[in-house]
Structure 1
Amino acid sequence: MRDLFDLTGKTALLTAASKGMGKAMAAALAAHGATVVLSSRKQDQCEAAAAEINAACGTTRAHGIAANAGRHDDLVALVAKTREIAGPIDVLVGNTGVNVFYGLTSEIPDAAYEKTMQTNVQANLWLARLVAPDMIARGKGSMMFTSSVGAFKPSPTLGVYGMSKLALIGLVRNLAQEWGPSGIRVNAICPGLVRTDFAKALWDNPEAEERANSQIPLRRLGAPEDFGGVAVFLGSEASGYVTGQALTVCGGTNMWT
């Protein structure tokens, strides 16, 4: 049964993985034997994260490659470099997401809308298409993309962000259906409120702390480390019959969705 979570010999590619949830997922995948290639926009941050993971593993399992995950050309180069360093890709973690506008959906500027949808949805489709041939050739593979519990409800300030994350779940379900016959599993991870730099404006205040202590069933905010086990589960044979799902990891706040 222990082999269900063994990722020895597997190659995992992660975007937005030099810190926060992405880094925690990369560290967990490496700890279970995978060779991980982690990316973010800045090479020095990628290298620092890889070095920290390698030190924890006691061997070289992590490599850092800078890429803007919202640009098609950068993704092409990232996938090519990953294959050069580590071979065909077995596990994909699309963790990139942006929110460039806080306010009413009816008032969002076109440029902000287009950037949000392109980065959060279309760029993940680009990435999936680039990686899929490796998995099709092997007859198996796992893709996971970071959505949000914001996909399940409206918001007066984060409406378009939530829309994009709901569209991402739709993308996941369609790819799961289309590539399932080729052995590729595709799932979404839907975090609740997590203590990351990305979400700092939402949790770094006394009101958020009070909500966590009074309304979240587990009585705490999420931490990046809460997502390491999820990534290992979805990336390994332990989830061999799981595809097309949106897994909420939220301390219980969205258990009814």
Structure 2
Amino acid sequence: MNCLVRMRSVLGFLRINPVAGGQRSMSQSSLAGKVAIVTASTDGIGLATARALGRRGARVVVSSRRQANVDKAVELLRSQSIQVTGTTCNVGNGEDREKLVQTTLDQCGGIDILVSNAAVNPFFGSIMDTTEEVWDKILGVNVKSAFLMTKLVVPHMEKRGGGNVIFVSSVGAYQPFPGLGPYNVSKTALLGLTQNLAPELAHSNIRVNCVAPGVIKTRFSAALWQSEDTMNELKKQLSIKRIGEPEEIGGVIAFLCSDEASYITGETIMVTGGLNCRL
């Protein structure tokens, strides 16, 4: 009986003081006032992510290596009433990374969110045929640059009282795509980077998470979804019998950046249509 009385007292206290119980109002999920950098964000998952963040009120900074692509993305997002600015950036280049961060600070006044989406894959074939140059290129852009971008933005997130870092990995991190050995390895490395950064940055109120998309309808995966035979085989492995859309990844990333995900860090969220690739 005494236990029951104590439990009722605790529950009553939490109802009166919801913050003490770690609860947050759903209305606080808005990203209004937040500033988000999304790398490789003029097409595919990156563009969909910029749109999802912008629709929730964030001011978004988009980037890619070509100015024409940046201009096109900025025009599109502005036509959808999204606050956006853009600049060219090759994330594999240190000066470009610094320019992206400085442009964001100059135009938006701070940084709250980093979505590291940029990736390359210049090789297809047996992993035993890969060269040192291939490994340097893939790991340099897909992994090292993701960390170095994080290192650049963290001090500015700390000035704002916290923030969110999201790495875009791939289902290939768990179930390797044939012929994409170094790329698969780089995406697996992002899972480890997420788990190592999360506890170190938690004291600064910065959450670090990762999203691992399955086969999504982008230019990168066109060889898969444009082949009827390949798609028929793939669908046999999927619970949801279709490939994903970029917007379905953008929505998950936006959720992870919101207060609704305030108790999630160090995690990798699989968005694969039910592909059975891990426990």
Q: Which 10-residue stretch deviates more, 38-47 or 203-212?
A: 203-212
Q: List runs of 5+ in structure 2 lacking aligned partners.
A: 1-24
**CA positional deviation for 1:153:** 3.0
The whole-number CA distance in structure 1 between the counterparts of 2:151 and 2:127 is 30
Partner of 1:200 in structure 2? 222
Q: List runs of 5+ in structure 1 lacking aligned partners.
A: none
The one-letter amino acid paired with 2:179 is: T
Question: TM-score when scaled to structure 1?
Answer: 0.95
Alignment partner of 2:242: what SS? coil
Kindly indicate whether residue 248 of structure 2 is the aligned counterpart of residue 226 of structure 1.
yes
Partner of 1:105 in structure 2? 127
1:6-57 deviation line (CA, Å, top 9, x unaligned):
0111000000100111101100111110000000111121121122112112
CA contact (8 A) 2:92 2:145 kept: yes
Out of 132, 137, 140, the residue aligned to residue 115 of structure 1 is 137
Kindly indicate whether residue 69 of structure 2 is the aligned counterpart of residue 45 of structure 1.
yes
Larger Rg: 2
Equivalences for residues 40-189 of structure 1 within 5 A: 40-57=64-81, 61-189=83-211
Q: Which 10-residue stretch deviates more, 221-230 or 7-16?
A: 221-230
CA contact (8 A) 1:140 1:184 kept: yes
**CA positional deviation for 1:160:** 1.2
The whole-number CA distance in structure 2 between the counterparts of 1:212 and 1:160 is 22
Task: Check 1:240–1:104 CA distance in 2 against 1; reply closer, same or farther (3 A cut).
Answer: same
Alignment partner of 1:215: what SS? coil
CA contact (8 A) 2:238 2:276 kept: no
CA contact (8 A) 2:111 2:160 kept: no
Out of 175, 195, 213, the residue aligned to residue 191 of structure 1 is 213
Partner of 1:246 in structure 2? 268
Alignment partner of 2:114: what SS? strand
Question: TM-score when scaled to structure 2?
Answer: 0.88
The whole-number CA distance in structure 1 between the counterparts of 2:219 and 2:177 is 20
The one-letter amino acid paired with 1:161 is: Y
> % of aligned pairs identical?
39
RMSD of aligned alpha carbons: 1.4
Partner of 1:6 in structure 2? 30
